Amino acid sequence: MGLLTLNRNSDQVTSSGRRPGIPPRVIIGLIVAAVSVFSYFASTSYNPITEQKQHISISRDQEIALGLQAKPRMERQYGGESRDLRKQALVKDVGSEVVSRSDASKTQYRYEFHLLADPSTVNAFALPGGQIFITEGLFKHLRTRGELAGVLGHEVGHVAARHSAQHLAKQQLTQGLTGATVIATYDPENPNSRASAQLAMVIGQLVNLKFNRNDELESDRLGIRFLSQAGYDPRSMIKVMEVLREQSRSRTPEFFATHPNPENRIEKIQSVIKEQFPNGVPAGLKQ
């Protein structure tokens, strides 16, 4: 009988025949989460334009390569390059002026500016590494060279701040943490655990949305800086927002889908201008 005596403290088993303790899926999830967090925070780079440390997982050369690879697809999506050579030349000229005469020239990116043929879509956007686009749908509503410089300066700000590279690193972190949560919480024998996986995805989306809004404000700030350094009146950025607001009365420009537009966007731009020019905007700047 002595051989059959069980030690209840050391040999207790569950009703399913398994020893109690941390489930293997939880341990694996914790490992995945730890690796994701470590990789994110270990990839740090200082950006002299924003004067901030950033979590970046790719090099500038890789950013440039990604932008060049995505360029043909984006052009096809918006009807290809505009056939109006005069407008194309104006976009390239103003864009080059904003870059060459501002701190954006110190970023070592190969900025290229493109006017896309789509006449109805109101949008402008930047790809990582310096590929910058504006549609004819937005271009036709701009009244001055300064307003065009405002749009392009804002997009240059996204590139100089390395927002795409930051988002890539954040997505990798979010995917890693989401995957870890799914692994740790999903139990095939418990259908209710699916809700935890769905919640993890929602949280990840909210985190990235928050940074999108911050990116826009930072690009506004950098755009104002580049604009004024190139000799343009930074208040042109306000006029651009007024143009977009006017367009939004009849329809929502696609610009607002990729550029979150808080209600106080214009007020924030005005605040940045006052901060950069406490004694007022100098006279004689180009409109």
How many Cα neighbours within 13 Å face the side chain of 55? 15
| Maximum average pLDDT range among 140-149, 177-186, 197-206 | 140-149
163-185 and 194-229 helices cross at what angle (nearest 10)?
170
Domain boundaries, the chain: 24-276
pLDDT > 50? residue 207: no
State how far the Cα of 54 lies from the Cα of 77, in Å rounded to an integer. 31
pLDDT > 90? residue 261: no
Other Cβ atoms closer than 10 A to 25: 15
pLDDT of residue 55: 76
Q: Average pLDDT of the chain? A: 80
Q: With the C-alpha atoms ordered 195, 200, 202, 203, is the resulting torsion angle positive or negative?
A: positive
Q: With the C-alpha atoms ordered 228, 232, 233, 238, is the resulting torsion angle positive or negative?
A: negative
Confidence of residue 111 (pLDDT cuts 50, 70, 90): very high
Pairing of strands 124-127, 52-55: unpaired
DSSP string across 92-131: HHHHHHHHHTSGGGGG----EEEEE--SS---EEEETTTE
Say which range, 82-96, 119-133, 200-214, 268-282, has the weakest mean pLDDT: 200-214
Look up residue 140 and give its two tokens.
């036709």
Mean pLDDT of 127-152: 96
pLDDT of residue 222: 96
Q: Which residues are CB-contacts of 270 (< 8 A; sequence separation ≥ 6)?
A: 238
pLDDT of residue 11: 47
Mean pLDDT of 97-103: 97
Rounded to 10 degrees, what is the CA torsion of 21, 22, 23, 27? -150
Mean pLDDT of 18-46: 64
